[in-house]
Amino acid sequence: MAHPTELFDLTGKVALVTGGSRGLGREMVLAFAACGADVVVASRKLDQCEAVAAEVEALGREALPVAAHVGKWEDCGTLVDVAYERFGKVDVLVNNAGMSPLYPSLADVSEALYDKVLDVNLKGPFRLTSLIGTRMAAGEGGSVINVSSIAADRPTPTETPYAAAKAGLNALTVAFARAFGPKVRVNCIQAGPFLTDISKAWDMASFEKSAKAMALQRGGRPDEVVGAALYFASAASSFCTGAVLRLDGGVP
């Protein structure tokens, strides 16, 4: 039996993280690298991907920065192709990229905004998991981690398309776990309010007031996603698939 700390070892593994240039994605990229993985860092802005890739290389691991818009079907295919061309495999896929634009009212949600939100939060993960999961299942297996939101279970009028997309992502988690098992595990981190760059646009006074209803009475630090991400990425979760883990500080 392996020592418990060895269960989290990712030496020799390759991880692909979308939305990997900032926020939760960056934290996961650096954690995977610290545990021995080489990493594909993907987001829409190449310069930001390159900056995080340099941090990975400083940890002694290889990194491939890729500019990709996961809401675009062709970009997803290109991202997969360049990842496999460079490393020959992907052992861990993290569908982390997401967006939730503000809108004045539900009636003011345009078709373009609606499509953009569903494309990034749902279509991209579907396409990437379909492509990479198929290759994982035909090879040595792997792990897929979806990053969802508490909005999937607690939708509000201010984020309705986003909530619908994240609820769909929860459903994809279970469906893909069944489709690609037993060699591929597919799990989901259902994130609560994390104090990433996005939180800079929040009304913090209002948030701090509402946070008092949470069990931990605060927002999450970006690095607090690392434990769940490493668990799902590694052999530590070898008997876990199709799971949706709430990581929300005890939102009621």
What confidence tens digit (pLDDT) does each residue in 187-203 have? Answer: 999 999 999 877 666 67
Output 167 or 196, whichever has higher pLDDT: 167
Q: What is the pLDDT of residues 16-66, one digit of tens each?
A: 999 999 999 999 999 999 999 999 999 999 999 999 999 999 999 999 999
Is residue 18, in this structure, part of any structural domain at all? yes
* CA–CA distance, 252 with 249 (Å, rounded to integer): 9
Is residue 190, in this structure, part of any structural domain at all? yes
Query: Annotated active-site positions, please?
Result: 162
Domain region containing 117: 4-246
Total count of domains within the chain = 1
Is residue 237, in this structure, part of any structural domain at all? yes
Is residue 31, in this structure, part of any structural domain at all? yes
pLDDT for 122 beyond 80: yes
Look at the block and give the residue holding tokens 């999961």: 133
Is residue 252, in this structure, part of any structural domain at all? no
- 124: domain CATH number is 3.40.50.720
Query: How high does pLDDT run on average in the chain?
Result: 96
The model's pTM is 0.96
What's the DSSP call for residue 106?
G
What's the DSSP call for residue 104?
S
Is residue 251, in this structure, part of any structural domain at all? no
Is residue 48, in this structure, part of any structural domain at all? yes
Count of alpha carbons within 13 angstroms of residue 96, beta-carbon side: 27
* CA–CA distance, 198 with 21 (Å, rounded to integer): 13
Residue 80 — very low, low, confident or very high, per pLDDT cuts 50/70/90? very high
Which is it for the CA torsion 201, 113, 27, 232, positive or negative? positive
Is residue 159, in this structure, part of any structural domain at all? yes
DSSP letters along 164-223, please? HHHHHHHHHHHHHHHHHTTTEEEEEEEE--B-SGGGGGS-HHHHHHHHTTSSS-SPBPGG
